[in-house]
Amino acid sequence: MTSAVLHDELESRTGAAAGSRAAPRRRRSGRVPAVIDLPLLLAVLALLCIGFLMVTSASMPMADRNYEDPFFFVLRHGFALGLALACGVVCFAVPLEVWQRIGPMLMLVGIGLLLLLLIPGVGRTVNGATRWIPLGVMNLQPSELLKFISLIYVSGYLVRNQLDVQSTTLGFMRPLLFVGIACALIMAQPDFGTTAVVLATVMGLLFLGGVSVFSFIGLFVGVAAALAALIIVEPYRMQRLTSFRDPFADPFNTGYQLSQSLIALGRGEWFGVGLGNGIQKQLYLPEAHTDFLLAVLGEEFGLVGVLFVIGLFGFITWRALAIGAVAHRRNKMFSAYVAHGFGLLIGLQAFINVGVNTGLLPTKGLPLPYMSYGSNALIVAVMATAVLLRIDFELRRSAVESIPEGGLHRERPLPPQRPLRERTKGERGASWRRASR
């Protein structure tokens, strides 16, 4: 009886030891997991390519008339696209803990750049708005950079002061001090659209950070009242708010842009008139290569093309939120807040631009992410995507088990195991020694 029990125990130990040695070999023989979120990367690259194609198509008539060079905007957009990809590579190489550490410093730098625009002679004024700092080869727009910087700063603050944010009013109001100063400087340019986008995304992050419902409602009412006051005090903003409901009531004045955009979308029907065959971009539709690029795409590629682009934006937003959810489950709170913030930022800007082009929202000069002409908006969108890919990369890397001690050498296969009674005396001795260890 004792001998049989001993044999069974030795056999179970031997099998367990063999199984534990064989487990790493089975793990390494499996398929190597992806390093980054390839579908997200492909969706962004698709939008960048479509955007370059549509900027080329939409800008040629205006460039030929104003600059006698049909490729004037194309070459500049190509340079901005190359610069954006380079900035994206740099952002992807920066670890998340570095972004978390330098967040407050970046916020101070962003506010400093906005202050430079108040100095006479430094900023460049276009159409009554002073938003750009000339840098020779390009113009720097600090308000676009602040969209990226404010999310990094607020995400880091939520991690450092999570308890204060969730339990005290001062805790969640403190980061709004710097954000409020930055938004006030942006309104001094003036730029109402960027101010609204920054405030909306920051409020979304605070809500995700666990702010109490009553405090958030009070903050929401206060911000909404301030934005409404800014609309009322400026007649042209109030005019935009009322004219979009019926643009054809005044199609040659207040409703001109929207009416021309709707005409372009209507001409496109289901499949469009073909690339390069659009009529509205022929000096009828203002800002065809920037804020109203989607209308040109709708005319030349129809409803199918517009829905395809909207689907890509929806997929990118979903992937950003999904990456943030994974980071939250693994208690990577800074990564979770940043991913959710960039998802809200990209999705909100795309929603506003599509709404403006289709007449669902009042006319506002917000570019379509990844697609519209404009170096600063393009660079910021690619930088945000690069940080999202970095978050996903670090999450995937942390999920992979460490390599067992001994490196990646090829293990010698173990001999097939036989019942202890059928083994030779030497095999039973070797089994006893292995089991005793």
Nearest-angstrom CA–CA distance, 161 and 179: 16
pLDDT > 90: percent of the chain: 47
pLDDT one-digit tens code per residue, 168-216:
878 888 888 899 999 999 988 888 889 989 999 999 998 888 888 888 8
d(CA 378, CA 80): 7
* Res. 15: pLDDT tops 60: no
Q: Using one digit for the tens of pLDDT, what is the confidence trace for 82-111?
A: 999 999 999 999 999 999 999 999 999 999
Question: What pLDDT is recorded for position 424?
Answer: 59
Cross-strand bridge partners of residue 130:
125
For the stretch 172-201, what's the b/e string if a residue is b when 16 or more beta carbons lie within 10 angstroms of its beta carbon? beebbebbeebbebbeebbbbbbbbbbbbb
**What single string gives the DSSP state of each residue in 262-323?**
HHHHHHHTTT-S-TT--STTTTTSTTTTTTTHHHHHHHHHHHHHHHHHHHHHHHHHHHHHHH
Let me know if residue 3 belongs to a domain: no
pLDDT at 423 over 80: no
Determine the pLDDT at residue 421: 59
pLDDT digits (tens, 9 = 90+) for 294-330: 999 999 999 999 999 999 999 999 999 999 999 999 9
Contact yes or no for 201/343 (Cβ under 8 A): no
Dihedral in degrees, nearest 10, Cα atoms 143, 144, 149, 151: 110
Task: Report if residue 22 sits inside a domain.
Answer: no
Answer yes or no: are the C-beta atoms of 197 and 345 closer than 8 Å: yes
Q: Is the full-model pTM beyond 0.75? A: yes
- What is the number of other CB atoms lying within 10 angstroms of the CB of residue 206? 23
Q: Which helix (H) or strand (E) holds 124?
A: strand 124-126
Which candidate, 147, 182, 78, 188, places its Cα nearest to that of 383? 147
The answer to whether residue 410 sits within a structural domain is no
For 326, other C-beta atoms within 10 Å of its C-beta total: 17
The CA distances from residue 61 to 30, 57, 72, 331, 416, in Å, are: 55, 8, 10, 52, 76
Place of tokens 């944010």: 165
d(CA 56, CA 263): 21
Label residues 94-131 b or e (16+ Cβ within 10 Å = b): eebeebbebbbebbeebbebbeebeeeeebeeeeeebb
Task: Say whether the peptide bond before residue 120 is cis (omega within 30 degrees of 0).
Answer: no
15 assigned to some structural domain:
no
* More confident of the two residues 340 and 136: 340
For residue 200, which of 177, 216, 181 has the smallest C-alpha distance? Answer: 216
DSSP reduced 3-state for 83: helix
The DSSP element (H or E) to which 183 belongs, if any, is: helix 169-187
Question: With contact defined as beta carbons under 8 Å apart, do 325 and 319 qualify?
Answer: no
Contact 378, 349 (CB under 8 A): no
Q: How many domains does the chain have?
A: 1
Asked whether residue 365 is assigned to any structural domain, the reply reads yes
Phi then psi for 262, rounded to 5 degrees? Answer: -65, -35
Per the CB < 8 A criterion, the answer to whether 417 and 15 are in contact is yes
Flag whether pLDDT at 360 surpasses 80: yes
Whether the CB-CB separation of 300 and 268 falls below 8 Å is answered with yes
Backbone torsions φ then ψ of 121, nearest 5 degrees: 90, -10
Amino acid at 242: T
Which are the contacts of 228, defined by CB distance < 8 A and separation ≥ 6? none
pLDDT of residue 167: 81
**Mean pLDDT of all residues in 218-227:** 86
Q: Residues 325-334: pLDDT tens digits?
A: 999 999 999 9
In a domain, 31, yes or no: no
| Average pLDDT, rounded, for the chain | 83
**185: domain range?**
38-399
- pLDDT at residue number 364: 79
Residue 431 placed within a domain: no
Which residues make beta-bridge pairs with 66? none
- Determine which helix (DSSP H) or strand (DSSP E) holds 380, and give its type and residue range: helix 375-399
Residue 369 belongs to a domain: yes
